[in-house]
Structure 1
Amino acid sequence: MAHAAVCVFCGAREGRDPAYRAAAEETGRMLAANEWELVYGAGDVGLMGAVARAAQAAGGRTLGVIPAHLVGREGAAHDLTRHVVTETMHERKKVMFMNSHAIVVLPGGAGSLDEMFEVLTWRQLGLHDKPIFLLNTLGYWTPLIQLVEHVIAHGFADDSLRGMVREVADPQTLGTALRAALS
């Protein structure tokens, strides 16, 4: 699917290890190389800014979605292919989700966790079947993967939850997984 769109949820910070930024930049270049539009939070900071700048520098298309109250805080990028300003955070997530064919979660904080769990919950409820990938740079998401296993082991979710999120180790593996999922 050459003109698919991939939603990337990720941090408005870069984290302490430069490997997070490097993986975000590589992800942006990989999306552009595959002609997939990047759908992201429109911020020009942190991993969000890194993935978008790399995608744009590689000739990729970008759709940035940001709520009005974050424009000053996250420095909304204005050189995007498409740019949407929403009223609320919830509307931002919905617009990002509705304009994408797959979801990728890079390292991030509470906002990235919120975004990931919302799309995972929607999938668990049968509201969509879009693939969800965790880019597990430096094992960042390993505790989250263990938490999902814990939830299943204690009977608070069916075994099927395990297969609704796929862990990938690096942007190359992510690209391969996305090509398979979007074909």
Structure 2
Amino acid sequence: MPLPAPRGGHAAVVLDGRIHVLGGGNARSTLADHDVYDPASRTWSARAPLPRAEGSPAAVVLDGKLLAIGGRSGDQDFGAVDIFDPAADAWTVGPPVEPRGTAGAAVFCGAIHLFGGESQARRQVLADVLRLDPHAGWQPLAPLPTARNFARAVVFRGAVHVVGGSLDAQVSHAPAGSAVVEALACPIRGT
């Protein structure tokens, strides 16, 4: 079943057995669209859109909620963390992070972790690793060995793997032969 409309640079997560696709862009603009695919019925439905149009957000699911983190539109990066409650079909505001787009994120060791990304304002690819503490906000951890944007993070066999990405601002891929996989074991240490 194809997407309801073309898009790229979006985020996608699984929540309650359905695939949520949010943000991104098309040939004309950045999108706030939030579409949900139900594999059981093989249908798409629109849900509450993101609070703003944003491409390249990071997204995770924790405790039955979807979190969209950062993102960008044009030359503007966002630091918003927006929390989607599927029961209410509504977004609420979470603890903001330093503005960035193209970051990787994963739920690991029971907490949300954010990896790298890019600050367009500083024209800098980021190496920072941040953990969201629900009581204290975002906490810095030891940085990635290499700064990366457009990398993705997955949890596999007791470690989070930060895969791919680029070392250069405005570039979405690493050159062939680059060593761009880091495996970080639980717990990830602070700075």
> What TM-score, normalized to structure 2?
0.28
> What TM-score, normalized to structure 1?
0.29
Greater relative contact order, per chain length (Cα 8 Å cut-off, separation 6+) = 1
Please state which structure has a larger fraction of its residues in helix: 1
